Chain A
Amino acid sequence: MVPLSYYLVLSGILFACGVLGFLIKRNIITIFMSIELMLNGVNLSFVAFAAQWHALSGQVFVFFVMVVAAAEAAVGLAIIIAVYRTRETLNVDQVNLLKL
């Protein structure tokens, strides 16, 4: 059996990749995918703990996270399309009007 720590390390790597992608990428769709990566990194740790402790609640959480992520993807893509229609760009550095 694969030890828990492996899963957790993998989960941490996935999450860190997500954060890194979020911070360095300029394309809004890539940023969006980075968010999904972070969510799935967390999901992995949930199921890992659930399997380790034989508790179902971790798996239930994962379902919730996936449902919310799907909803968020729908809304987020709609926003991206709207942004593209008005600004004709997907570069977040150029979408910076909301500031003091």
Chain B
Amino acid sequence: MTANPYLWLVPVLPLAGAAINGFFGRGSSKKAITAIALGFCGAAFALALFLAAGFSSASAPYYYDLAHWLRSGSFQVDFSFYLDQLSLVMLLVVTGVGFLIHIYSVGYMWDDDGYYRFMAYLNLFMFFMLTLVLAKNYLVMFIGWEGVGLASYLLIGFWFTKDSAASAGKKAFIVNRIGDFGFLIALFLMIKHFGTLDFTHVFASVQTLPTETAGAGLLSAIGLLLMVGAAGKSAQIPLYVWLPDAMEGPTPVSALIHAATMVTAGVYMVARSSVIFERAPMAMMVVAIIGTLTALFAATIGIAQTDIKKVLAYSTVSQLGYMFMACGVGAFSAGIFHLMTHAFFKGLLFLAAGSVIHGIGGEQDMRKMGGLRVYMPWTFVTMGIATLAIAGIPPLAGFWSKDEILWRAYNASWVYWLIGVITAFITSFYMFRLMYMTFGGEYRAAAAQETHGHDGHGYGHGGPHESPWVMLWPLIILAVLSVLGGWVAGYNHHFENFLAPVFQGGKAVAEESPEAGKSALEYLLMAVSVSVAGLGWLLAYLLYSRRPELPVRIAAWLDGLDEAVAHKYYIDELYTALFVKPLIDGSTTILWHGVDQGVIDAAVNDSADAARHVSDNVRHMQSGNLRSYAGWVAAGGAAVIAYMVWMGVR
């Protein structure tokens, strides 16, 4: 490992921006705020590029110990940073996509009163996210982990005067708490059994342990607990419920935090802990099953959503499921590859959706859109590219990464592959449905123009219009990345080989040589996944472009099912009935009325009452009459003397 003194600057630069804007932004001009926010974030990106320039697949990891933190006997944790091929990919994705979204936010949030606050929060998020990916031990990672949760909470509830936004923020925070609980216990297990939290030391200790093929032991426990944490942060079953609600935040936030970066932290954490997972096949299987089920489950919900951002939110959950599926079958680099391409095209999709919402005055309901390709051609083209990418149409980015995952999944079990392909079909369908509903046909809300300001930016205008260039440039750059990102990195296993030093223990990577040609089976599977994507497109075209009256009739025909899907399978209602309501009821009757009012308040009030009663009786002694006082003194003295005499006599 090589010490690199610039490493710690990467996270600290955005922190400086957040501090300056957060403390002094209120009175500053918007230009100054913009310069600081973009300057520090851009500097972090430039530094990341500088670090990446000198870094190849063969490079030894960089590290930097900034300061001591905990020293307790032989256990020690430092503020130290670490950069290997895996963190470099994350670093570039986070700073690169993050910087583009910062630029976009300038246009999107310019008219908002909380502009300085928004920019400060975004920079703060960058700081924590970079801390998370650059951490050299689990505890520093945990700081970043909690920090991005905080930034997420602040940004979801950015328009905190809106009740739904405030409660969505709380929901995200509380659901994540459940996951963090698992993560923390995993850390405690590591401290107990390995005596360290440093990645290199933990993994070295793990490598001395045998693979837990039969039954579950320590490593399986750690792996499963880490997966609990990852499921919370990355919105997997059963903890995915917070992510769709998180769409209450401003759209750049949805793009940055709830699509491109933060929600992929769980995937990164699982990939980072690949050494642990490889020795715990049971935990791996759980990861794969959770990922596969989430991919399918969330995709089906996405079909029936009418809010443009909700569709994308469920799509994100579904794509994250793909990443976990990849990690679960041992294809960590494929998962990270999909993470990267997903950051491009899903970030783009959200930004384009934001552009649409911005352009028609804050409307998010797709049923009131339509025909927008005429009004906002750039948004239409870039979003179309992203849709092709996520649907897996070659040669766009999503095709390469999704195909890689499906191929690896097929090698593990055909069940994963089948569900993955079905999900790919549904993905293609709901994405093209979104496109046709938004951009196809005629504009359906021309009459209902008065009801804008829903997204809070209060942009006054007559009809739909294209967004300013400051918002379009990030779209265009991300569109280029969505086209090229997969091909450049995926071709000839470039990406996989780049990550090979990190996952060298990974069985999937070691087996294949990069020059080996693809087998006929792989081409067949590729053809299948591309054709289901095409089928999904065709179905969406038929239903939402050629015969727009059909979906209503189909929905009527599938009455109960459609209702269930539109209500997200009543999962929120189920959680409310199972956990939230019993908790509130129990807290109300037992803890509030019983313990707090019955025991604690009662004890305090009763002792106060007792003191008052005693005082009421005793205060008559203090009559103000000097001779009665003297009498009490004399009586007391006499009593003492009598006692002493009696003791002495006895």
Q: Which A residues fall within an 8 A CB radius of B?
A: 19, 22-24, 26, 31, 92-93, 95-100
Q: Contacting chain A: which of B134-142, B151-159, B431-439, B623-631? A: B623-631
Cα A59 to Cα B216 in complex, Å, equals: 91
Instruction: Count residues of chain B with CB under 8 A from any CB of chain A.
Output: 10
A16 to chain B, nearest CB (A): 10
13 A-B contacts (beta carbon < 8 Å): A22-B627, A22-B630, A22-B634, A23-B627, A23-B630, A23-B634, A31-B626, A92-B625, A92-B626, A93-B625, A97-B624, A99-B623, A100-B619
A99 touches B627 (CB 8 A): no
Residue B622 interfacial (CB < 8 Å): yes
Contacts of A97 in B (CB 8 A): 624
CB–CB B627/A93 < 8 A: yes
Give the chain A neighbours of B619 by CB distance below 8 A: 100
Give residues of chain B (422-479) contacting chain A, Cβ–Cβ below 8 Å.
Answer: none
How far apart sit A96 and B624, CA to CA, in the bound complex (Å)? 4
Q: Are B623 and A96 in contact (CB under 8 A)?
A: yes
In the assembled complex, which residues on chain B have CB atoms less than 8 Å from the CB atom of A24? 627
Given contacts A99-B622, A100-B619, contact A19 B634 (CB under 8 A): yes
**Min C-beta distance of A17 to chain B, whole Å:** 13
In the bound complex, how far is the Cα of B634 from the Cα of A19, in angstroms? 8
Determine if B626 and A96 form an interchain contact, defined as CB atoms under 8 angstroms apart: yes
A53 to B631, CA, bound (A): 35
Instruction: State the Cβ distance, B631 to closest chain A Cβ, in Å.
Output: 6
In the bound complex, CA of A96 to CA of B627 (Å): 10
Point out the residues of chain B lying under 8 angstroms from A98, CB to CB: 624
Name the interface residues of B278-334: CB closer than 8 Å to any CB of A.
none
Contacts of B624 in A (CB 8 A): 96-99
Q: A24-B627, A92-B626 are in contact. List 10 more A-B contacts (CB 8 A).
A: A22-B627, A26-B627, A92-B625, A92-B627, A95-B626, A96-B624, A96-B626, A99-B623, A99-B624, A100-B622
**Which 9 interchain pairs have the tightest Cβ spacing?**
A99-B624, A96-B624, A92-B626, A100-B619, A100-B622, A96-B625, A98-B624, A22-B630, A99-B622
Binary contact track B589-627/A, C-beta < 8 Å → 1, others 0: 000000000000000000000000000000100111111
Q: B453 to chain A: closest CB distance in Å?
A: 65
Interfacial chain B residues near A92, Cβ < 8 Å: 625-627
CB closest residue in chain A, given B622 = A100
Cα A26 to Cα B626 in complex, Å, equals 9
A-B contact count (CB 8 A): 30
- Docked Cα-Cα span, A93 to B631, in Å, equals 13
Which residues of chain A have C-beta atoms less than 8 A from B627's C-beta?
22-24, 26, 92-93
A95 to B630, CA, bound (A): 14
Contacts of A31 in B (CB 8 A): 626
Residues of B within 8 A of A23 (CB): 627, 630-631, 634
Which of B622, B623, B630, B631 gathers the greatest number of chain A CB atoms within 10 Å? B630
Contacts of A19 in B (CB 8 A): 634
A20's nearest neighbour on chain B, judged by CB, is B634
- B625 nearest CB across to chain A (Å): 5
A98-B470 Cα distance, complex, nearest whole Å: 80
CA distance A99 to B619 in the complex (A): 9
Inside 8 A of B625's CB, which chain A residues have their CB?
Answer: 92-93, 96, 99
The CA of A22 and the CA of B628, in the complex, are separated in Å by: 10
Q: How far is the CB of A99 from chain B (nearest CB, A)?
A: 3
- Residues on B with C-beta less than 8 A from A99 are 622-625
In the assembled complex, the Cα of A95 lies from the Cα of B623 at a distance in Å of 11
Chain A residues with Cβ under 8 A from B630's Cβ?
Answer: 22-23
Q: Give chain B nearest CB distance to A94 CB in angstroms.
A: 10
- Shortest C-beta distance, B627 to chain A (Å), equals 6
Residue of B619, B626, B634 with highest tally of chain A CB at under 10 A: B626
Contacts of B472-505 to chain A: CB distance below 8 A: none
* Closest-CB distance, A68 to chain B (whole angstroms): 19
Residues of chain B within 8 A of A26, CB atoms compared: 627
Complex contacts, A93 vs chain B, CB 8 Å? 625-627
Closest to A24 in B: B627
Q: Which residues of A contact B626 (CB under 8 A)?
A: 31, 92-93, 95-96
Q: Which residues of A contact B622 (CB under 8 A)?
A: 99-100
> B619 to nearest A CB, angstroms?
5
Taking the closest CB of chain A, its distance from the CB of B111, in whole angstroms, is 66
Residues of B within 8 A of A95 (CB): 626
Q: In the docked arrangement, what's the CA distance between A97 and B623, Å?
A: 9
Chain B minimum-CB-distance residue to A25: B627
A96 to chain B: closest residue by CB? B624
Complex Cα–Cα for A98 and B623 (A): 8
A96 to B628, CA, bound (A): 11
Residues of chain B in range 341-380 having any CB-CB distance to chain A below 8 Å: none
The answer for the CA separation of A19 and B638 in the assembled complex, in Å, is 11
* Chain A proximity of B513: nearest CB distance (Å): 97
A22 neighbours in B (Cβ, 8 Å): 627, 630, 634
Q: How far is the CA of A24 from the CA of B627 in the complex (A)?
A: 8
B629 to chain A, nearest CB (A): 10
User: What's the Cα separation between A19 and B635 when bound, in Å?
Assistant: 11
Q: How far is the CB of B555 from chain A (nearest CB, A)?
A: 80
Shortest CB distance B642–A (Å): 14
Residues of A within 8 A of B631 (CB): 23
Interchain CA distance A96-B634 in the complex, whole Å: 19
Q: CA of A75 to CA of B617 in the docked complex: distance in angstroms?
A: 35
In whole angstroms, what is the CA distance A26 to B623 when docked?
Answer: 16
What's the Cα separation between A67 and B152 when bound, in Å? Answer: 80
Q: How many angstroms from the CA of A83 to the CA of B626 in the assembled complex?
A: 14
- Whole-angstrom distance between the alpha carbons of A97 and B625 in the complex? 8
A82 to chain B, nearest CB (A): 15
CB-nearest residue of chain A to B635: A23
Q: Chain A CB within 10 Å — which of B619, B625, B634 has the most?
A: B625
Least distance between B635 CB and chain A CB atoms (Å) = 10
How far, in angstroms, from A7 to B623 measured CA to CA in the complex? Answer: 38
Query: Across the two chains, which residue of chain A brings its CB closest to B623?
Result: A99
Q: Complex formed: what's the CA distance from A95 to B627 in Å?
A: 11
Residue on B nearest A28 in the bound complex, by CB? B626
Q: B625: nearest residue on chain A (CB-CB)?
A: A96
The CA of A97 and the CA of B624, in the complex, are separated in Å by 6
Distance (whole angstroms) from the CB of A19 to the closest CB of chain B? 6
